[in-house]
Amino acid sequence: HLQIGIRAIDLLRAEGDRLHSRKLRTFNEPPFR
């Protein structure tokens, strides 16, 4: 059971990282300077 929970947390963390990086990328995309 513990392994499944850790795996779920890892998946959520990976998904969050992907969304965060995508958000940062789209945020930095438009030319602000």
Q: Is residue 4 part of a domain?
A: yes
Q: Is residue 22 part of a domain?
A: yes
The full length of the chain comes to 33
pTM, full prediction:
0.48
Q: Is residue 17 part of a domain?
A: yes
Q: Domain limits at 20?
A: 1-27
Hey, is 27 helix, strand or coil? Answer: helix
Q: Is residue 3 part of a domain?
A: yes
Which residue's structure tokens are 């990282």? Answer: 17
* Number of separate domains in the chain: 1
Give the pLDDT confidence of 1-33 residue by residue, as tens digits: 689 889 999 998 988 788 777 766 666 666 655
Type of residue found at 1: H
